[in-house]
Chain A
Amino acid sequence: MSVISALRNETTSWYEASARQRIDALVDRGSLTEFVGPAARETSPHLAIFGLPTQLDDGIVVGEAALDGRAVLVAAQEGRFMGGAFGEVHGAKLVGLLRAARATRRDVLICFDTGGVRLQEANAGELAIAEIIRALVLARLAGVQVVGLIGGRAGCYGGGGLIAACCSTLIVTEQGRISVTGPEVIETNKGVEEFDSKDRAFVWRTMGGKHRYLIGGADRLVADSAAAFRAAAIGALSSPTVLDAGTLDAEQARLERRLARFGTAEDATEIWSALGIDPVDDLPALDESSFLARAGGKRESADGAR
């Protein structure tokens, strides 16, 4: 890697970057070959019904590249187009990539940035997520690593949260929110007393990357830079995990233990205290290194159990 690209990676905020900028800064410089790219003009056939504009790549980049010299497949969702949501074409590109991963035994990097299913093509998006999960799990059962990277504006919501939890390894920033039902939808259905979507601090400590890292919902917490994601992704691929019956038995035990330990907690801070972290009130404000130092040895980990 040249000095210029190293500098570029160091200063590229993952949160602020576009999908294409993220991939460019993540993989070895200039190594991306895109599949069914913008020139193919495979746009959504459904958005016109709603009078909405299409995008030439339908909000996702998929292709092959090199990561530290290793051949990988890569995908990145564009959170600034339709909230990175899964539509028919968008989803089908990721389905194809994961089917190819199984066939060619190449590891996969998925940069999530999504609100979940694209409601204007809800049935196609929902089914695409089911197809993605099936293709992802079959690839993992064949020995492929699938690494998820989460730190974009849209977070990783809805079916995106389910796909993420099927990955071998999850790398997050503190901005990387992961959940199934989004704050607004819980508030709309259950009331503001159940979930105040306007309370940003509450949303982030309930669904944000630090909390997910502490309970074992994510594996590596990194700073908001492309360089940090790149280093963590290289690290993840160099320590492969398996998916088999033993893995899921271990995950079953891990998730049951979580219910037993934290099932009565009313707030994330109670869970952090129960983990033995002290103090907890300033955890959300800590930078990555201070946070990791305080959480060290106390968090729940998902090693070999995801």
Chain B
Amino acid sequence: MELDDILASLFPAGHEVRVAHGRIAGHGVLRDGRRIHVVGLADGIALGVEDAASLAAQVLAIARQTDAAPILMPIDSSSQRMSRRDELLGLNEYLAHLAKSLLLAEQAGHRTIGLLYGGSAAGAFIATALATGTLVALPGAHPEVMDLPSMARVTKLSLDVLREKAKATPVFAPGLDNLARTGAVHATWDPAQPLTAQLEALLAEPAGDDARDLLGQQRQGRPKAAAIAARVVHEATRGG
């Protein structure tokens, strides 16, 4: 789905959302008049230091507001920007700052909902979509940790071998279905139905704790994570 169609389906009552330099900003209104902040990434942008700082500034400005209005984060990006300059300037701090800002806003009462409608990858995926409280996707979204050709170089396995192995396990292969099975994606929305109703239904669900490991266990994409984390918590809190 194109961003314009997504926004029209999300906010039939109207929105003021602008896209410039691959960055999405503005707000929309639900049918009951509730305001939704919109902050995101468009056009497959590679997330660099300036982009991360700009997004974080928007998120922090929202976090200061006491309206408790949710933040919707539509995302179509590539990976973090890969350059000497970005690393020289400490890109890790900029991406982490963005993730922290999203978590702070959520704790300040603004639910954060990621809407993956295109690509996202690697560190950019962690700092945006995966830092929201709930991540949903639209069919055709294509998240990945690393593309298969790069993965082939790093793992020293051929592309054919990787493609063959990808059929047997979802745990390393790119794509929405594979990431959803690990628990990263809460739900995939139906583009044939009004998105506004699907957003309202999601907002009606309580936010709750991070249950992505349990989801990954149920979906058999991450067989051990939930049990291991729970066991460490148990051993660390039993006292004595």
Contact = CB atoms under 8 A, between A and B. Distances in A.
Interface of A: 35-36, 42, 45-46, 49-50, 62, 64, 73, 88-89, 91-93, 95-97, 99-101, 103-104, 117, 119-131, 133-135, 137-138, 141, 158-159, 161-166, 178-181, 185-186, 188-190, 194-195, 206-207, 211-212, 215-217, 243-245, 248-249, 251-252, 255-256, 258-259, 262-263, 265, 267-268, 271
Pick the 6 closest A-B CB pairs, nearest first.
Answer: A96-B232, A161-B92, A165-B96, A100-B236, A130-B130, A96-B229
B221 A158 contact: no
Main SS class of interface, A: helix
A155 to B, nearest CB: 11
B53 A255 contact: yes
A104 B171 contact: no
B88 A268 contact: yes
B204 interface: no
Interface string B70-105: 000000000110111011111111111101110110
Given A62-B232, A165-B90, A245-B63, 7 more contacts: A36-B228, A92-B228, A131-B210, A131-B229, A137-B99, A137-B100, A165-B97
B159 to A, nearest CB: 14
Given A88-B171, A166-B100, A129 B91 contact: no
A211 to B, nearest CB: 8
Nearest to B97: A251
B93 A165 contact: yes
A162 B96 CA distance: 5
A252 B93 CA distance: 10
Nearest to B149: A188
A268 to B, nearest CB: 6
A121 B212 CA distance: 16
Contact of B123 (A45, A64, A180, A211): A180
B91 A95 contact: no
Interface stretch (B8-16, B21-29, B177-185): B177-185
Contacts of B86: 180-181
A243 B54 CA distance: 20
B36 interface: no
B90 A100 contact: no
B225 interface: yes
B117 interface: no
Contacts of A194: 83-84
Nearest to A51: B157
* Residue among A123, A129, A252 facing the most chain B CB atoms (10 A cut-off): A123
Interface string B174-204: 0000110111100000000000000000000
Nearest to B182: A123
Contact of A133 (B89, B90, B131): B131
A215 B47 CA distance: 21
